[in-house]
């Protein structure tokens, strides 16, 4: 089975999963009792925002690596096409 996602999208999947899990944990931290939400919101929000902010560096590294790979592959393709089109010196 082929993967329809681009390399940059594929690289972002672990971060997206971690972000969704952080939102899920926020809901758990808030709890089911609406009377406690006012008291729990500030701390739960800080945990959520801190977790999401900590995901940014790893996302940048993975996306940077994926972009670097795409750029290198494209440049190698161009170099190969140019070499193939080059006429040999007489």
> What's the pTM value of the predicted model, to 2 decimals?
0.72
Tell me whether residue 18 is in a domain: yes
pLDDT digits (tens, 9 = 90+) for 29-47: 999 999 999 999 999 999 9
Query: Does 25 fall in a domain?
Result: yes
- Per the domain annotation, does 35 fall within a domain? yes
In a domain, 78, yes or no: no
Q: What is the structure's pLDDT at 76?
A: 96
Tokens read off for 66: 């994926």
Residue 3's pLDDT band (cuts 50, 70, 90):
low
- Specify if 4 maps to a domain: no
Say how far apart CA 67 and CA 45 lie, in whole Å.
32
- Residue 31 C-alpha from the chain's centroid: 29
User: In the chain, how many domains are there?
Assistant: 1
pLDDT digit string, tens, across residues 58-86: 999 988 988 898 899 999 999 999 999 98
Domain with 51, as residue range(s), is 10-73
């Amino acid at each position: 089975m082929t993967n329809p996602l681009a390399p940059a999208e594929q690289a972002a999947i672990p971060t997206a999963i971690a972000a969704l899990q952080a939102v899920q944990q926020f809901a758990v931290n808030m709890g089911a009792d609406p009377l406690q939400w006012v008291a729990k919101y500030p701390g739960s929000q800080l945990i959520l925002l801190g977790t999401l902010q900590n995901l940014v560096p790893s996302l940048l590294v993975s996306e940077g690596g994926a972009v670097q790979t795409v750029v290198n592959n494209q440049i190698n393709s161009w170099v190969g096409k140019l070499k193939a089109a080059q006429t040999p010196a007489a």
